[in-house]
Amino acid sequence: MPLRASFRSIRLIIARVSVASIAPLIIFSSRFGRTVILSRSLSPSAYGVVVALTTIYTFLDMIDIGLDRFVMINTGPKRAAAVAVAQRIAFVRGLFAMVIIAVFAPVLATIFGADSHADIVRWLAPLPVIRSLANLRVKQVQQEYRNGPEALASIASQSGALLVLFPALALFNDERAMLVSLYVDGVVYVGVTWLILPREKVSFIDPALQREALIYGLPLIVNGAGLLMTSQGDKVVVGNLFGLETLALYSLVVNLALMPLSPLGAVLQNLSIAFLAGRRGNVAASNFGSFVVTWTFLIVSSGYAVGVALLLDVLVPLIYGPHYAVSLEIKVLVALLSFFRFCRQGPSAILLVAGGTQRLAVANLVAGMGLVIGYSLGTILHSLQAVLTGIVVGDALATLFIFYQIRRQLPTKATIAHAIFLMLPVGATCAFSLAYGGATLWMRGLVLFLATTLIGVDLILGYRFQLVRAGPSSLGAIDRS
């Protein structure tokens, strides 16, 4: 019976992951497709302007106040009121972002070394308002594992954004094609979210709920600023120090390595939040769930970083063209960055469910320290590797900090043991890549096999000594969440 319950729970998890993966995978595929098309169609300097545009747009998009998560954890009788409150706040935030872009467009362009492109930067201003009009019900129903509405909206908007790129390139043949794609993406997404899920009627909105939304979300503004510094601030530093062509190369290398983590993280984090939310009333079940989430992210982080360390230098010129190449040092640093950045998403989900947004915000500000270190090193040494080294140091410190914040919700010895064991293949692969940078594919394949074997051993040990020992009641709880 315990074994049967375990397999039933695993099958259910796989089914939920498969459904929840649709929207993030569509978004990833479209953005990756746009990147490949633009990088091969435009010169490096023109593509550098595209990077500057998308980074500026992402700046204000990432400084969010967690409205999607707020509506996810507010279900039941007050779910419609929670969505109504969130919609109002989202619109105000969109207006604020629009004003910032419109007023400071020349400054933003200058920061990236794109002084002559201030007018096109200003065209980004209406986009935050457009996106703020999306129906947040598509986010709320994900708490019930209903991922279909979000998937449909993403398929429609991303397909339109990708297809419109071809006539836009034929018409403009420059960075304006990206602007057209962004507008189509936003308008179609908003329209489809309202078509597939009509708004629920709200007779009364309790002011306390609005205060609750702000109390929950305001710390996430700081969190968003920290995320901004860690995920986009590096592009500001690189563009400012080294120019648009180096920015284009850096963006392509880092995005190829880290972009797949975006849909993967979205899927696992949404499922983790739903998984943990159903266990909040039981301390033992909550702690067990926290370990499962943390361990899952560690496993995925380890396997992914190994692949980056072995294959990134092969994939970059293969996908984007031979004029883009990545050095061995950059490859290894990006592999370490992918490990630290993804493995802390598990603890982030735990803190979000527990309402610990303040601690999450501090963790991301700690990661932002790496950007300061990187900028200082880059200014002194004028080296791209120096900038990336500082960023990796900041992410490592943030990872240690956030794991420390959830220490009481985890079995300490088991978590440390699994973390160390899963870091071994990452460290060994990075060392191999530095020592044998020009290794043949069969040698890389052998190292990949050995590294994944170690990860598989940890998976077996964790299942045997953690999950099975927890008993069928904890494993079966997945069926009821």
Residue with the larger pLDDT of the pair 22 and 3: 22
Q: What phi and psi values does residue 191 have, to the nearest 5 degrees? A: -60, -45
Mean pLDDT, range 425-448, rounded to an integer:
90
Say which range, 87-96, 163-172, 398-407, has the weakest mean pLDDT. Answer: 87-96
Distance CA(429)–CA(447), nearest Å, equals 7
**pLDDT digits 0-9 by tens, 326-335:** 899 999 999 9
- Of 249, 437, 262, 254, give the one whose Cα is nearest residue 325: 249
pLDDT at 297 over 70: yes
Say which range, 9-18, 71-80, 131-140, 201-210, has the weakest mean pLDDT. Answer: 9-18
**pLDDT digits 0-9 by tens, 181-196:** 999 999 999 999 999 8
- At residue 4, the pLDDT reads 54
Residue 322 in tokens? 């031979």
Rg of the chain over all Cα atoms, to the nearest angstrom: 22
- At residue 323, the pLDDT reads 81
| Domain membership of residue 332 as a residue range | 2-480
- At residue 478, the pLDDT reads 42
Mean pLDDT, range 261-267, rounded to an integer:
80
Residue 45 CB-half CA count within 13 A: 6
- At residue 8, the pLDDT reads 58
pLDDT at 232 over 80: no
Mean pLDDT, range 426-453, rounded to an integer:
91
Give percent above pLDDT 70 in the chain: 85
Provide the domain count of the chain.
1
Q: How far is the CA of 107 from the CAs of 117, 150, 233, 246, in angstroms?
A: 11, 35, 15, 20
pLDDT at 438 over 80: no
Mean pLDDT, range 176-181, rounded to an integer:
92
- At residue 5, the pLDDT reads 52
- At residue 61, the pLDDT reads 64
This prediction has a pTM of 0.73
pLDDT at 68 over 80: no
Q: Indicate the length of the chain as a whole number.
A: 481
Distance CA(262)–CA(258), nearest Å, equals 7
- Of 93, 103, 141, 110, give the one whose Cα is nearest residue 124: 103
Say which range, 179-183, 230-234, 284-288, has the weakest mean pLDDT. Answer: 230-234
Say which range, 99-108, 136-145, 153-162, 400-409, has the weakest mean pLDDT. Answer: 136-145
Residue-averaged pLDDT of the chain: 82
What is the per-residue DSSP string for 294-334?
A: HHHHHHHHHHHHHHHHHHHHHHHHHHH-TT----HHHHHHH
